[in-house]
Amino acid sequence: MIEPRSQNIISNIAMAQPRRVVFYGPGLSGKTANLLALARMLPEGEERVRHLKADIDGGVPFELLSCDAEELGLTAAGPLHLLTVPGLYLASRSRRTLLKGAAGVVFVADSRRERIDADVLLLDELGSHLVGLGLVPPKIGLVLQYNRTDDRDALAASRLDSELNRHSGLRTTAVANRGEGVLDTLRLLLDALSSRRD
Ligand SMILES: Nc1nc2c(ncn2[C@@H]2O[C@H](COP(=O)(O)OP(=O)(O)OP(=O)(O)O)[C@@H](O)[C@H]2O)c(=O)[nH]1
Ligand SMILES: [Mg+2]
């Protein structure tokens, strides 16, 4: 499903058994911005992010950042394999493939009023992919990130909670292109994964 070169990269990293964390959400919600912001915290910066293409769904782009949690100042979490999915609505099969083997998901929701329907659609899709892959909680950790909160049309977090977080799961707010809330989101997810193991 993923082009051979990308598949090799993913397989090689899988041998070291990093935890896979998938940044999932609708188009332009800020998934790539999250990864780039995390990469800027590393010495090599954004060059650490690999830009890959799926070989289905028209070769939609996605990204991979391989790093150690310690490099980000996060303790005791070990190697990480941070992946974005393509947000293009029609790229559902690629998103499903990229979820395989995930330890956790950050759902990057777009706070803008006009994107709430896209958020709901992709959150529902995520739920059905996870059920299909047998990855329902507690097998997988999930954090909702309300991104783009700087937009003048951003909905209040309370409204987003009622639309997207009816079960009061873990959630954060962010302005990912400025790096705000990005590390806190990852930390929240990794802490939840660690406490689940204890
Ligand atoms: N103002 C603002 N812009 C943002 C924020 N997060 C991301 N952006 C910008 O929004 C645009 C889209 O962000 P991306 O990170 O590429 O979105 P994506 O979710 O990866 O999109 P796809 O890969 O197409 O699904 C970019 O120009 C980002 O810089 C935010 O919190 N506030
Ligand atoms: Mg992207």
pLDDT, tens digit, 9 for 90 and up, residues 54-88? 888 889 999 999 999 999 999 867 999 999 999 99
Cross-strand pairs, 143: 106
Q: Measured from the CB, is residue 30 less than 6 Å from ligand 1?
A: yes
For residues 34 and 180, give the distance between their C-alpha atoms in angstroms, rounded to a whole number.
9
Nearest CA to ligand 1 atom 7: 30
Residues around ion ligand 2, judged by CB within 5 A, are 31-32
Superfamily of domain 14-197: P-loop containing nucleotide triphosphate hydrolases (3.40.50.300)
**pTM score of the predicted model:** 0.92
Domain ranges (residues) in the chain: 14-197
Low-confidence ranges of the chain (pLDDT < 70): 1-16, 76, 197-198
Q: How far is the CA of 197 from the centre of ligand 1 (A)?
A: 33
CB 144 within 8 A of CB 157: no
CB 56 within 8 A of CB 50: no
For residues 113 and 193, give the distance between their C-alpha atoms in angstroms, rounded to a whole number.
31
Q: How far is the CA of 19 from the centre of ligand 2 (A)?
A: 20
